[in-house]
Structure 1
Amino acid sequence: MQLAVIHSRAVVGMDSPEVTVEVHLSAGLPSFSIVGLPETSVKEAKERVRSALLNAGFDFPARRIVVNLAPADLPKEGGRFDLPIAIGILAASEQCQSDKLSQVELAGELALSGELRPVQGVIPAVIASQQANRQLMLPETNGAEAALIEASHCVTARHLLAVTSWLNGQSELALALPAKLNKQPLQHADMQDVIGQQQAKRALTIAAAGRHHLLFYGPPGTGKTMLASRLPGILPTMSVQEALASATVYSISHQGFNASNWRQRPFRAPHHSSSAVALVGGGSQPRPGEISLAHHGVLFLDELPEFDRKVLDMLRQPLESGQITISRAARQLDFPAQFQLIAAMNPSPCGNWGNPHVGCRSTPDEIRRYLNKLSGPLLDRFDMSLEVPALPADKLHQQQSDGESSATIRQRVELARLKQLQRQGCTNAQLSSSQLHQFCLLSPDNLTLLQRIVQQFGLSARAHQRIIKVARTIADLDGSDSIAQTHLTEAVSYRAVERLMQQLAN
């Protein structure tokens, strides 16, 4: 047999298209060519495959070897084609049987010793192989990730020799087994460690219950970052569907994937020097950015005005649509981005504008330039904003917090979130306009009050709707079926950034 055909999978965005690896041996001077739009890492497979075959005890054919990765117009990258190429050479040179090759798909990077190393994009590859009715063979270290897909029937191997023995019918490969899940959730910092700031804790609880975007502002050292870092400890556990969607993003990224903690919501906190590509995704071969890595989790942006304004404005569309579209000349890729945005900032360059205990060193023009780094449309997309004031000196030496623990708050958040899902099938922050009229009806008095507030502060239609959504979440936390005036007035109180801008304008 001079020609062997092996099935494999590439990774393009969130998809895993099929790649047919064709290996042909012919007469002529010994050579090894790989065609089919391979990237540098794929071209280097020639040396890895040659050494792996020799170190595993196989003969490397002294023939003219041509490897075609079809389709030819699809870019291929990474070491995932090492194993298919090696098996193709062995099958074409009749050093292993080829009977099973039409029913299986192979993916794996080869070490020079012949051992198999893990590859990226396992979850979409498993799903695609299921749809093609083929069995996927992966490196052993990818087994726990592959086992997240029910009825995947993937098999794993540690060495090239185990794969050839399986193809020859001499042994069986182990099925991919799930990792041992951590029964206890990750230990997050407890909310009870935060002294004072009861209103900020209340706002964080509401944000967690309804998945609302929240902005904290205040002087340095008042606990804004401390509060935000405790949000994961009060969030509900992800559903299986949410966890699988988040795991798929990590599977195709360079971040690494821990299958034992796959039900934990991601919490991403990029530095303010992050580029647009790092935050929203992109690159010559588009990769998911921080907003996609925070899918079904939290994206925390500390020191918000220190981010580049153009970078921040790129968040506006994903915040509304829940996905990011990366367009390139050759293709267009979509990445999911249903994240909860939590941000913190100072009200001025020196940080002390409005602080009764410390004088502000910034001039009004400096404050305007500082706050103008944040565009109005971006600020309008925050459901809630709140000032976190400096604590009195006597509070700083308090030995114990007088607030609830994260575990207690989480129970109330889970009950409120469950109520939302049972009523409308989504969180309150995700309500559409039609659902808003159906599930968030206001009494005539409350409607008149809200209209008056909107006119007074010049709020947009988006802000009008977000106030109602927050009020609905507050009612859910109180166990109320309807939105009362107290719920609405509390929701209005979480529009501090509009009051801040109005004060600056005056």
Structure 2
Amino acid sequence: MLSKISSAAISGIDANIIEVETNVETGFPDFELVGLVSVSIKEARERVQVAIRNSGISLKPMRITINLSPADIKKNGTGFDLPIALSLLSAYQLIGITPYSQNFLKTTLFTGELSLSGKINRINGILPIACAALEGGFKNIVVPMENLREASCVSGLTVYGAESLNGLIAYFNRKEASTGNEEIDNNLLEQKYGIKRAIPEEYCADGEISILHDFSEVAGQSAVKRAAEVAAAGMHNILLSGAPGSGKTMIARCIPYILPPLSFKESLEVSKIYSVCGEFPDNSSLITKRPFRNPHHTITATALTGGGTNPIPGEVSLADKGILFLDEFPEFSKQSIETLRVPLEERHVCINRLSGSFTFPADFMLVAAMNPCPCGNYPDRNLCKCSDHEIMRYQNKISRPILDRIDIYIRVSNPQFSELTDKDKKGRETTAQIRKRVIAARKIQLERFKNDGITCNSAMTVSMLDKYCPLGKTEQEIVKTAFENLKLTARSYHRLIKVSRTIADLDASENIKAEHIYEAISYHSTIDGNK
């Protein structure tokens, strides 16, 4: 007897539909799993048989062959346990006997890990699997109960959460299915069969955020706050350089709270990444806050950009649509720093393995912080005890190609005593005030790029610069002088224009003016803060 059950295999941050085909026939008792399966799936042979026995069903010893099709796609993970079990039971004609059950099996995608008791455990990657089910034309999807809310954000699918294999078997073989009475009350469904039908949730952008780090708590540093505002408005990469204790980390931690809320499309992309990595928040449907990732400087290049035998996203992808904060930037390994070249430029990471090529999004805003020298006191020669060679070697840890990909360099000076002791915080802007300006500037950019497939100034191509950033004669002369004096490369020239465009957007100016270019030039200093 041959049976088919549909499931899905994770590939990158997407999923491919997989058909679980089971053939049961008389002959020497055997159990074969084929179809380019990993070790974890081969182990399903034991888990599935024990789970079925512990669900009160004894299978007659027969020759069993299970194929996961198509056979040219590598399958990993434990999410195939449930579909293998159901396909096996269907082949034995223990489920799917009634017309309703047969139709349900055909129009439903199944995924989940089985424990030996028959309990269905949660798995990673439910969100891309649910999206693949919708794109594949399925009407329903059955997932572990713990993954129910995660899958429920995909509209157009009826999502069921199941607690146990035994409950699913009872649901398929219930009397109502044979009489054609298909619909069951949600409460009865949960109480009797341990199955819950998800209630679709509307996407709600995180408009009002809980601010944990406020710019009003930062003493002084008005120029640095302005630079952070410009960076957030255009999603520009920024490097903060200053002495230890000057407030670099504190300012960096304030930046996420001035970023605009995620759109539904952005939220879905970010949520897929976190779902695949197993970092999806509990009791949550979609991630609505922009990510803020702060890896330690001992991180490996693979953990930073993604990879592994079965490639998974790294920190640059987990920071997608948000911020990647690299504190003590020169302390990261040379290899880790240099692997940032491609994601900073291309906004994605491509990882090639024998099993295939995987592309992960990496559209993040880099916020880096560093000391100007090993002791941190340069260029104050009264305090700095480092030799010129030590300073040069320390700063050269950040190569020119990486610096070329950073839009804003700003020196963070130590605040004055009077600024630290100002309890009234006079003249200090709050995060909420800055965020309003950033959101207003980003709305201008969304309207500008509505037909170009991008959302912010930092993503503009060279042809878009010609279209959206025309310069007057005076402005061209200013840029020409800066290009020659600062010895800019073509890339840094383009980034200078992009920053100028963002500053103009913050001023709600249609054209880039001289003052906007002068401010952008002021952010283009060397690592040590010298112009």
Question: Which bin holds the TM-score, normalised by the shorter protein?
Answer: over 0.9
Residue 280 of structure 1 deviates from its aligned partner by: 0.7
Change (3 A) 1:260 1:104: closer
Matches within 5 A, 1:211-222: 211-222=235-246
Q: Counterpart amino acid of 1:340?
A: M
2:126 is aligned to 122
Change (3 A) 1:118 1:186: farther
1:188 aligns with 2:192: no
1:416 is aligned to 441
1:456 aligns with 2:481: no
Distance in 1, Cα, partners of 2:334 & 2:111:
42
2:87 is aligned to 88
Distance in 2, Cα, partners of 1:500 & 1:410:
27
Q: Counterpart amino acid of 1:288?
A: P
1:147-203: per-residue Cα shift (whole Å, max 9, x none)? 222212232222223322333354565433356977853443111111111111111
- Aligned equivalent of 2:116, options 109, 112, 115: 112
2:13 is aligned to 14
Change (3 A) 1:161 1:224: same
Q: Counterpart amino acid of 2:122?
A: P
Residue 105 of structure 1 deviates from its aligned partner by: 1.6
2:300 is aligned to 275
1:366-395: per-residue Cα shift (whole Å, max 9, x none)? 111111111101101111010001123343
1:405-434: per-residue Cα shift (whole Å, max 9, x none)? 111111111011101111233311112212
Provide the secondary structure at the position in 2 that maps to 1:370: helix
The TM-score normalised by the length of structure 1 is 0.93
The TM-score normalised by the length of structure 2 is 0.89
Distance in 2, Cα, partners of 1:224 & 1:400:
22
1:224 aligns with 2:248: yes
Distance in 1, Cα, partners of 2:79 & 2:197:
19
- Aligned equivalent of 2:107, options 103, 106, 120: 103
Residue 54 of structure 1 deviates from its aligned partner by: 2.1
Q: Counterpart amino acid of 1:6?
A: I
Moved over 6 A (4+): 179-183
Where structure 1 has 5 or more consecutive residues not aligned to the other structure, the ranges are: none
2:199 is aligned to 177
1:303 is aligned to 328
Distance in 2, Cα, partners of 1:450 & 1:150:
50
1:471 is aligned to 500
1:250 aligns with 2:271: no
> Contact (CA 8 Å) 1:194, 1:401: kept in 2 or not?
no
1:62 is aligned to 61
> Contact (CA 8 Å) 1:145, 1:178: kept in 2 or not?
no
Change (3 A) 1:186 1:4: farther
Provide the secondary structure at the position in 2 that maps to 1:399: coil
Q: Counterpart amino acid of 1:56?
A: S
Residue 398 of structure 1 deviates from its aligned partner by: 3.1
In the alignment of these two chains, the number of paired residues is 500
Farther-moved stretch of structure 1 (367-376 vs 136-145): 136-145
1:428 is aligned to 457
> Contact (CA 8 Å) 2:219, 2:419: kept in 1 or not?
yes
1:325 is aligned to 350
Q: Counterpart amino acid of 2:160?
A: V
Matches within 5 A, 1:292-371: 292-355=317-380, 359-371=383-395
1:200 aligns with 2:199: no
> Contact (CA 8 Å) 1:26, 1:63: kept in 2 or not?
yes
Q: Counterpart amino acid of 1:153?
A: T
2:411 is aligned to 387
> Contact (CA 8 Å) 1:213, 1:341: kept in 2 or not?
yes
> Contact (CA 8 Å) 1:247, 1:257: kept in 2 or not?
no
Distance in 1, Cα, partners of 2:172 & 2:490:
63
Distance in 2, Cα, partners of 1:254 & 1:247:
10
Give the share of equivalent positions with the same residue, in percent.
Answer: 39
> Contact (CA 8 Å) 1:412, 1:477: kept in 2 or not?
yes
Distance in 2, Cα, partners of 1:300 & 1:227:
11
Distance in 2, Cα, partners of 1:187 & 1:383:
26
Distance in 2, Cα, partners of 1:189 & 1:400:
18
- Aligned equivalent of 1:445, options 474, 477, 481: 474
Residue 15 of structure 1 deviates from its aligned partner by: 2.5
Where structure 2 has 5 or more consecutive residues not aligned to the other structure, the ranges are: 177-183, 190-194
Q: Counterpart amino acid of 2:32?
A: S
2:153 is aligned to 148
Provide the secondary structure at the position in 1 that maps to 2:359: strand
Change (3 A) 1:118 1:283: same
- Aligned equivalent of 2:518, options 489, 500, 505: 489
Provide the secondary structure at the position in 2 that maps to 1:11: strand
1:102-153: per-residue Cα shift (whole Å, max 9, x none)? 2222111112222211222222222222222223221222222212222122
Distance in 2, Cα, partners of 1:355 & 1:195:
21
Residue 328 of structure 1 deviates from its aligned partner by: 1.5
> Contact (CA 8 Å) 1:234, 1:406: kept in 2 or not?
yes
Q: Counterpart amino acid of 2:197?
A: L
Residue 453 of structure 1 deviates from its aligned partner by: 1.2
Provide the secondary structure at the position in 1 that maps to 2:265: helix
Farther-moved stretch of structure 1 (45-54 vs 315-324): 45-54
> Contact (CA 8 Å) 2:410, 2:529: kept in 1 or not?
no
Q: Counterpart amino acid of 1:130?
A: L
